[in-house]
Amino acid sequence: MIIDAHRHYWDPSRLQYDWLAHAPAALQRPFLPADMNATQDACILVQAAPDERETLFLFDLARQTKGVLGVVGWVDMEAADATQRIAALVEQGQGLLCGIRPMVQDIPDTEWLARPSLDRAFDCVRDHGLVFDALVDNRHLRALSQRLTRHPGLITVVDHGAKPNIARRAFAEWAGAIARVAQVPDVVCKLSGLLTLTDAQGDTTAIEPYAAHIFESFGGQRVMWGSDWPVLTTHATYEQWKACAQALTRRFAPRHEAAVFGATARAIYSLNGRTTASARTA
């Protein structure tokens, strides 16, 4: 079974998604499970709003939707009661919560991740067996490295290859920084979100050196595929990106297709033995 390790569902009529105001108009509408009927791939839902109510919304969708294996949610990690909030989401998720994702890329302070005031919240994420999804780009990789040294055993997933500036062909600084992050053994990288970082629709050749470096840095066992749907739809269809990612994996990490397209996500997000949420509640 293929697992899409990074899928979004959102409904701007229910919650506020500030970043959508600056996104292409085609994304400024609801995207819900009915829009994904064409694929039978299992998935992990990932938050898209800094609002704990959205995490509860994703729990509800997961319980109603075939193929959803887990949810990466959001919690206010700066709150005085952050550890209690995390514990409450774990309880409310009833096994669905598999990770926490602060929206680091949208926080003005590029050193936010290194703040000591966040130590207790990150310890709590680790102690609950949750994954830290790192929504970062090159500006944050130094602070990310500092954060990881404080929490041995914190499983971390770098979203979208840390969002290299592919449109401007900026490679060297990102390549060095992501390679250093990859030296931490508990860090995994998502092969996701790269096409939408190009300046042309479907420019698969532009992403090749970046994908090659991700595989070289992390190895085929520490990379997982994600669609980043529906953001992806501004540049390609779901099936087009999946086929592209499969070709990149065969080229740069031969014999690791099973890991990239399912096994690594199952292991990292502790999905082994899970049925889909809808099957569990039926």
Q: What is the pLDDT of residues 199-239, one digit of tens each?
A: 877 778 999 999 999 999 999 999 999 999 999 999 999 99
Each domain of the chain, given as residue ranges in start order, spans 3-277
Report the CATH superfamily, name and number, of domain 3-277.
Answer: Metal-dependent hydrolases (3.20.20.140)
Which tens digits make up the pLDDT trace of 94-142?
A: 999 999 999 999 999 999 999 999 999 999 999 999 999 999 999 999 9
Compute how many other C-beta atoms are within 10 angstroms of the C-beta atom of residue 258: 12
User: Buried b / exposed e across 159-196, counting CB within 10 Å, b at 16+?
Assistant: bbbbbbebeeeeeeebbebbeebbeeebbbbbbbbbbb
In Å, how far are 61, 202, 212, 255, 257 from 205, measured between CA atoms?
36, 9, 11, 22, 20
pLDDT at 168: 85
The dihedral formed by the CA atoms of 135, 140, 144 and 147, expressed in degrees to the nearest 10: -110
Whether residue 281 is predicted with pLDDT greater than 80 in this model: the reply is no
CA-to-CA distance for 22 and 19, rounded, in angstroms? 6
235, 192 Cβ separation under 8 angstroms: no
| Phi, psi angles (nearest 5°) of residue 161 | 60, 25
In Å, how far are 14, 77, 122 from 155, measured between CA atoms?
31, 17, 11
- Give the mean model confidence (pLDDT) for residues 73-91: 98
CA-to-CA distance for 22 and 17, rounded, in angstroms? 10
CA-to-CA distance for 69 and 96, rounded, in angstroms? 7
- Cis-peptide into 230, omega within 30 deg: yes
Q: Of 204, 215, 229, which Cα lies nearest the Cα of 264?
A: 215
CA-to-CA distance for 196 and 163, rounded, in angstroms? 10
Q: Is 39 helix (H, G, I), strand (E, B) or coil?
A: coil
CA-to-CA distance for 11 and 187, rounded, in angstroms? 31
The residue assigned the tokens 């090749």 is: 208
The length of the chain is 282
113, 146 Cβ separation under 8 angstroms: yes
Compare 263 and 38 and report the one with higher pLDDT: 263
Whether residue 170 is predicted with pLDDT greater than 90 in this model: the reply is no
Residues 6+ apart with CB under 8 A from 22: none
pLDDT at 201: 74
In Å, how far are 16, 26, 89, 168, 180 from 31, measured between CA atoms?
14, 10, 23, 30, 36
For the entire predicted model, the pTM comes to 0.95
pLDDT at 223: 98
